[in-house]
Structures are given as C-alpha cells and as structure tokens.
Amino acid sequence: MAADVRALAEVWLDCLFPPRCLSPGCSRRGAWICAPCLAGAPALPKRRCAICGDAVLAARADARSASPRCRRCLAQPPAFDLAVAPWLHAPPVTDWIHALKYDRRRRVADLAGQCAAAVVRPHLGPDLARTVVVPVPTHAERRAERGIDVPARLAAVVAASLGVPVAVDALERVRATPPQVGTSRAERLANVLGAIEARRPVCLEHAVVVDDVLTTGATGEACARALKAAGAKRVVVVTLARATHGGDA
Ligand SMILES: [Zn+2]
Ligand SMILES: [Zn+2]
C-alpha cells in the first residue's frame, strides 16, 4: 500500500514538475531517460565472455569463436550459468543508477528494469515458464539508509515484464557486508560468501537473479552458490550495467 501511494505521488510530481533527462549535459524534458540517450547508452563489448560478459582480449585464440570464455571463467567457471546486462557501467548509465539508488527515482527502475528484462528474455527459452525472479538481498540497515530496496524494485519490474513470479525472500543477507569499493574480487568474494543464504525450501529450478551493477561478479557468485545448494538447476544473473576489466584482467 505504501509503495502504491509513493508511486502515485511520483506520477503526480511528474505532472507538476515534468521530468528532465538525468544524463549529464542532456536535460531534455519529458522523461528521466530520454529516447536518444537510451539509444546511445554504452553497450557491452562486442567481443565478450559467453558466461560472464566481461571483455575478452582480441589476441585470445578463441576470441573469434561463437562462445569465447574469459580467462577467469576458463580457470574456474562461476556458479551462475550466465550473466547479462543491457549496458556497460559507464556514463550516463552510472548517472541513471545513481539517481535510482540515491535519489530514489522509482520510475527510472521501471524503464531500466524493462531493458534488463528484454536482454535476459532470449536466454531463457523454454525455461521461461519455470523461471522465478530473485532479487539480490540487501541488508535491512542498507535498506533503511537508502529508503529503497533497488534490487527488489528492479526484480519486480523484470518479473512483470517477463510474466513470471518473483520470490522476494528466496535469498537473505544474514549479515551486512563492508563497502565493496576498491576491494579486489577475491576480497569481495570472501566478504560476501556466507553473507547470503537461501531460505529453505527454495522451490525453483530456474532463477533469474537481479541486481543493479555487476562489478567483479562476487555477489552474483554468492547468490548462485546459495540457490544451487538449495536445488536450483540454472541461475542467470541480470544487472542494469556491467563493469569490464579491460579484457581478461
Ligand atoms: Zn537525454
Ligand atoms: Zn567470463
């Protein structure tokens, strides 16, 4: 109910104060993300890992194959089966995500979540009918701090766009993790493993895990391990944006 009231208030505020595009230097009136900025948003690298989506160096022997793998996924395949995102983690996408996370622009989630759903849909195929959308769990303290549960909000939009259910509490964050900025992948993984657990029983075979950004993949890895330990067969991670590490870093 509270969420409905907030959504209505946002519609009302948009009428009173028409939105302007959030992209730096744009400010076009009429939408929080205007059509030209959406069309020109930075895409993932063309030559990318078929599992995690990170850039793959052109010099690699399999770089031109139909499904190249980055060095990390070749060395140790992640617990998730696939990670996809509509955009690269670069401006203006970073500005859109900032507005969603810190300014609580819920209507940005509607548009961005639909873009995420469009990117993941082709990878679900016949599994779509048995798919459940699961948000990356956030700790209660972080939710209270921000006033918005971004992954849950995005997951609701993705699930509605795909026409499948969302399992809001399939995963839970049993302890808060320290800020991840500036930490290595190994450190992030050590921080987040054990912090995310599946609530049993998890009655889902095919899970789509939703988050705002994939940086090192540590959070997606922790979610996928928890879901698979609880019985999930296939886990696909979808985020709005993906950071790349310059290819095979
Ligand atoms: Zn714009
Ligand atoms: Zn990879």
In this model, does residue 248 exceed pLDDT 60?
no
34 domain-assigned:
no
State how far the alpha carbon of 23 is from the alpha carbons of 27, 31, 34, 105, 153, in Å.
Answer: 7, 11, 8, 14, 21
Kindly list the protein residues that place their beta carbon closer than 5 angstroms to ligand 1, a single-atom ion: 21, 23, 26, 28, 34, 37
CATH number of the structural domain spanning residue 235: 3.40.50
The pLDDT of residue 11 is 72
More confident residue, 49 or 193: 49
- Domain extent, residue 166, equals 42-242
In this model, does residue 62 exceed pLDDT 70?
no
58 domain-assigned:
yes
30 domain-assigned:
no
Q: What spacing in Å lies between the alpha carbon of 40 and ligand 1's midpoint?
A: 9
Residue from 83, 72, 53, 49 nearest 224 by CA: 83
Nearest bound ligand to CA 34? 1
Q: Into how many domains does the chain fold?
A: 1
33 domain-assigned:
no
DSSP letter at 214 equals: E
Task: Report the mean per-residue pLDDT for the chain.
Answer: 87
13 domain-assigned:
no
DSSP-derived secondary structure for 173-194: ESS-----TT--HHHHHHHHTT
120 domain-assigned:
yes
Q: What spacing in Å lies between the alpha carbon of 21 and ligand 1's midpoint?
A: 5
More confident residue, 62 or 208: 208
16 domain-assigned:
no
Whether the model clears a pTM of 0.85, i.e. scores above it, the answer is: yes
218 domain-assigned:
yes
187: number of Cβ within 10 Å: 14
The pLDDT of residue 3 is 59
Q: What spacing in Å lies between the alpha carbon of 206 and ligand 2's midpoint?
A: 20
Task: Write out the two tokens for 95.
Answer: 């500005």
